[in-house]
Amino acid sequence: MNHTFTIYGWGLAGCTLAWELWKQKVNFKVVYKNENHSSRVAAGLVNPIVFKRLTKSWQADVLLPFAKEFYEDKEELIGRKFLSNKPISRVFASIEEQNSWSSIHGDERFEKYISPITELKNQHIKTPFHVGKVESIGHLDVNLFLNESMRFLESQEIEFVQLENYNANDAEKAIYCEGADVLENKYFGYLPMRPTHGDVLIIRSENLQLDEIVNKNLFILPLGDNLFKVGATYNWKMKQPIPTQEGKNELIEKLEAFTTFEYEIVKHQAGLRPTVSDRRPLLGRHPKEENKFIFNGLGTKGVMIAPYYANQLCGHLLKGTAIDDEVNIERHLKHFNA
C-alpha cells in the first residue's frame, strides 16, 4: 500500500493523530519503538485545575469537552472502558488553602469543575483541613487505550512497524510524535524542549479502600484489585527513563506524610516527559523540509491536550487549515539554524 503519511511514535500524540487520520480515511503507517514511552508510565490524570495557583488549566474549557467526547467515542467503537470518571480530591495542608478554595467556589468560571469543601471519609488518609473535589473525567488508562487502539487499527489494515525493522525514507511525509526522543531527531532537535524525569510507584494495599483520586504533593490513583499508582517526581537532571532510588525515597516520604495504611511496592517505574520551554505543545511543519511535521510536547496534561490538537494538526495536514499560534513551532523559529 502507498502510505500518505508515516507517524513516528506510539504515545498519546501518535495514537490520537492516528485516530484522526483513520477517521479521514487517509493511508498511513505507524513506526514505533518497542520500549517504555513516557505515555506508558503516565498516570493519565485529567485535571482542569492547577492546584498550585488555583487557576484553570490552559484552554481547559475547550480541551476537556473535546477530549471527553474523543475518548468516549473510542470506548463505544472498541467496546472497552478507558476513562475512570473518578473525582480528584485535593487534600488541604492549611486553613489558607481552605480559604483559597472557598474564594473560587461559586465563581462561575470554576462552577462546572469544583465542589464545596468536604470531608474525605477514609481513616487512612489524614485530612485535618478537609478536601476540595474536582469533577472531571478522572483518568485515562493510557496503556489500555494505546494497546486497544493499536489492535483496532491493525484490524483496519493499518500497518505498524517496529523502528528497528524500518528503513526510513527521507522523501516520506513523516509526523514525529516521539516524546523526549525528539532531542535526537535530525529535523526537530533544535526545538527548546528538555526531558523531565519522573518516578512512579505501583503499590498494593489491602486496607486502603479508595475509589477516588487523591492529591497532596503527589497523587494516589486507584487501579483496582487493591493496586494504586503513586507519583510523580520531577527531576531535571536525570536524562534516562530509568527508576531512581532518590525518586523512590521522595515518593515514600511524601506518601507516608499524610497516610497511615500498610502497603507493599509492586513496581517502580520511570519515564521522561517532553517539556517545552514555554509549556505549550509543538505542532507544525519543519522550516525547510516540507514533508516533515511534528506533534510533541504535550507534557503532564497530555490526555486532555492530545485529542484537540491531533484534530487540528490533521486539518492542517489534509486541508491546510491554520495551527494556533500558541502551539505552532513557528514561534521557535529563532532557534533554527539552517
| Sequence-ordered strand ranges (E) for the chain | 5-8, 28-32, 49-50, 55-56, 88-91, 131-134, 159-162, 174-176, 193-204, 213-215, 219-224, 227-231, 264-276, 282-285, 292-296
Query: Which structural domain, as residue segments, surrounds residue 211?
Result: 194-276
> Is 328 found in the same domain as 205?
no
Q: What is the per-residue pLDDT across 145-195, written as a single tens digit (0 to 9) for each?
A: 999 999 999 999 999 999 988 888 877 899 999 999 998 999 999 999 999
Phi/psi at 174 (5° precision)? -115, 140
Tell me what pLDDT residue 34 has.
76
- Residue that terminates a domain, selected from 276, 299, 317: 276
pLDDT at 3: 67
Q: Report the DSSP beta bridge partners of residue 119.
A: none
pLDDT for 4 beyond 60: yes
Q: What is the pLDDT of residues 289-305, one digit of tens each?
A: 999 999 999 988 999 99
> Would you say 206 and 263 are in contact if contact means Cβ atoms under 8 Å apart?
no
Q: DSSP string covering 51-64, please?
A: TTTTEEPTTHHHHH
Q: Confidence class of residue 233 from pLDDT cuts 50, 70 and 90?
A: very high
Q: What is the CATH number of the domain that holds 302?
A: 3.50.50.60
269 and 299 belong to one structural domain: no
What is the tally of structural domains in the chain?
2
CB-neighbour burial class of residue 222 (10 A; exposed 0-12, middle 13-18, buried 19+): buried
pTM here? 0.95
20 has a pLDDT exceeding 90: yes
Same domain, 176 and 206: no
Q: Is 110 within the bounds of a domain?
A: no
Residues 125 and 212 sit within 8 Å (Cβ to Cβ): no
pLDDT at 268: 97
At residue 337, the pLDDT reads: 79
Phi, psi (5° rounding) for residue 114?
-120, 155
> Is the same domain home to 258 and 296?
no
CA atoms 57, 62, 65, 68: torsion sign:
negative
| 282/272 same-domain check | no
* Within a domain: 229: yes
Q: Each residue of 62-98: pLDDT tens digit?
A: 999 999 999 999 999 999 999 999 999 999 999 999 9
- Pick the last residue of a domain from 276, 301, 317: 276
Ranges of beta strands (E only) in 44-173 are 49-50, 55-56, 88-91, 131-134, 159-162
The pLDDT > 70 percentage for the chain reads: 98
Res. 37: pLDDT tops 70: no
Q: Hey, which of 1-10, 28-37, 38-47, 238-247 has the most confident mean pLDDT?
A: 238-247
- Is 13 domain-assigned? yes
